[in-house]
Structure 1
């Protein structure tokens, strides 16, 4: 662990984060965290906590964090999709070589509906891209 703590701490929430200023410059040398803002990533909003006014440095740092977080979440989304392709492949192998008739009966309708829905969306989106391109 490094000896210097960051100036800000972000407590991740469902659609954003709570932002805290980290302070170790006190008499007891304890770590104190004071909430300064709440971030809504969906709306791109930064709301100061309580009656606080955020400095330009606070706002700049929070916006930098929001940009990094947005990029991280986008990277995770595409990684999840690549994993889904892997799961589809392993599911195919399982259905072909290991699944019992009872197991197949349990999942076939759900899988077929989900795959039909996915295929419909993918075909429509592909057609849209081809007609616009």
Structure 2
């Protein structure tokens, strides 16, 4: 039937999700969602909800979702960094061509400190990688 629902629903939370089993096979033909677990993608923890015992199928589906979610979040992190580079370039263009003195006064110190901090971290991490590569080579 078109529009068949999945067997599980993952309600996204800060560090993971609440996991629900979806049931449409009841007399009223209503969608029922029964919470079966809470998962934390940061530490890999899967906690059954209440006194439930999770089946092997439940655990396999949850682990597959956790793997996919972790990969999605990693891709988003990199995409956010690429957007930050774009924003830095747009900020430079704005500062050079459009910003008023008052606008620059409002943001210059915060931008300089943030850029100095970022530069320090990037230089230190690059030096670490170069030293490690030199030690391996």
Q: Shorter-chain TM-score: what band? A: over 0.9
What residue is the counterpart of 2:107 in the other structure?
Answer: 107
CA deviation after TM superposition for structure 1 residue 44, in Å: 0.6
What residue is the counterpart of 2:126 in the other structure?
Answer: 126
CA deviation after TM superposition for structure 1 residue 3, in Å: 1.9
Could you list the structure 1 runs, at least 4 aligned residues long, displaced by more than 4 angstroms after superposition: none
**Structure 1 Cα separation of the partners of residues 119 and 43 of structure 2:** 30
**Structure 1 Cα separation of the partners of residues 50 and 110 of structure 2:** 48
**Structure 2 Cα separation of the partners of residues 110 and 3 of structure 1:** 50
RMSD (Å) for aligned C-alpha atoms: 0.5
CA deviation after TM superposition for structure 1 residue 87, in Å: 0.1
Task: Please give the residue correspondences for 1:11-22 in structure 2 after superposition, counting only pairs within 5 Å.
Answer: 11-22=11-22
What residue is the counterpart of 1:7 in the other structure?
Answer: 7
Aligned residues: 132
Question: Normalising by structure 1, what TM-score?
Answer: 0.98
Task: Please give the residue correspondences for 1:1-133 in structure 2 after superposition, counting only pairs within 5 Å.
Answer: 2-133=2-133
Unaligned runs of at least 5 residues, structure 1: none
Unaligned runs of at least 5 residues, structure 2: none
